[in-house]
Amino acid sequence: MQIISDIQQMQSLATSLKREGKRIAFVPTMGFLHAGHASLLREGRRRGDVLVLSIFVNPIQFGQNEDLDLYPRDVERDCRIAAECGVDIVFTPDAAGMYPPGFQTGVTVREVSLPLCGASRPGHFDGVATVVAKLFNIVQPDLALFGRKDYQQLAVIRRMVLDLCMPVEIVGMPIVRETDGLAMSSRNAYLSQEQRRSALCLHRTVVAARKMFAAGERRVDVMRKAAQETIGQEPSVSIEYVEFRDGATLEEQEIVDNATLLALAVKIGQTRLIDNTVLGEEL
């Protein structure tokens, strides 16, 4: 496994791999890998000739009051996991290389970025779209894999790739959960034992909503109230949003269907957690 920090070196290696006809599979991450990332890497390994993992805590997707400095990092451990998953190249650029003095270009994906997490994290998805566009230009992947836990991020990236004719297949991978249902996230590391227990209300809400849908309920107001009540049973959890939206456009709906996304965001102490499900989707 090769570890490359230099942007030009990564880009020229990718160019020569492509010339040799190699199919590059790419998993962009901010590191602190968990089983969710491992599932992306294993699928990437299966689909590509060369598997590239990037680890870069992207400063421009963090807001002023967010946890950039505190964001968990452990590159050594990440490299061990990467090796176990069959990664060929770990790309670890630094912020000075990615955003040199004078940097002034960004990618904005408009409507899809605005609701849900975009409403409380203005500029976040501009930062994500910009860094992913840059990483795609450097790594030149044939396919890139993203977790569906960050559903809106995936929708933003799909839209960007479509709108800007980027020659990259985007693969959305199912949410990986702990045995008790908590969706895997690097931010789970911040939770105390008690907070972690409270966080299970997210999965309970997802399960209950899917049951209501399977039993025939279609009214968003009824389903939203039930979801809010389930989360409300945990006094230490504050709701940021409970939303039912079209799974592709993220537009609001009054009546749900198979493709409706239930998206949840809560705060437990200082930690912000998200979860989601597409109501009619087989798990």
> Which residue lies nearer to ligand PAF by CB, 151 or 244?
151
Compute the distance between CA of residue 205 and CA of residue 226 in angstroms, rounded to an integer: 8
Interface with ligand PAF in residues 62-121 (CB under 6 A): none
Build a one-symbol-per-residue string for 114-133: x at contacts with ligand PAF by CB under 6 A, - elsewhere. Answer: --------------x--xx-
Least distance to ligand PAF, CB of residue 30, Å: 4
Using alpha carbons, list the distances in angstroms from residue 80 to 38, 45, 75, 157. 11, 16, 9, 28
User: Considering only residues 58, 152, 230, 260, which one is a binding residue for ligand PAF as defined by CB under 6 A?
Assistant: 58
124 catalytic, yes or no? no
Q: Tell me if 28 contacts ligand PAF by CB under 6 A.
A: yes
Strands (E), 75-176: 89-91, 143-147, 169-173
Least distance to ligand PAF, CB of residue 122, Å: 16
Residues 6+ positions from 241 with CB-CB distance below 8 Å: 116, 119, 120, 263, 264, 265
Q: Token pair of 30, please?
A: 């901010």
The DSSP symbol for 183 reads B
Least distance to ligand PAF, CB of residue 195, Å: 22
Q: Tell me if 185 contacts ligand PAF by CB under 6 A.
A: no
Whether 13 contacts 130, CB under 8 Å: no
Q: Tell me if 175 contacts ligand PAF by CB under 6 A.
A: no
Q: Tell me if 275 contacts ligand PAF by CB under 6 A.
A: no
Residues in contact with ligand PAF by CB under 6 A are: 28-30, 58, 61, 128, 131-132, 150, 153
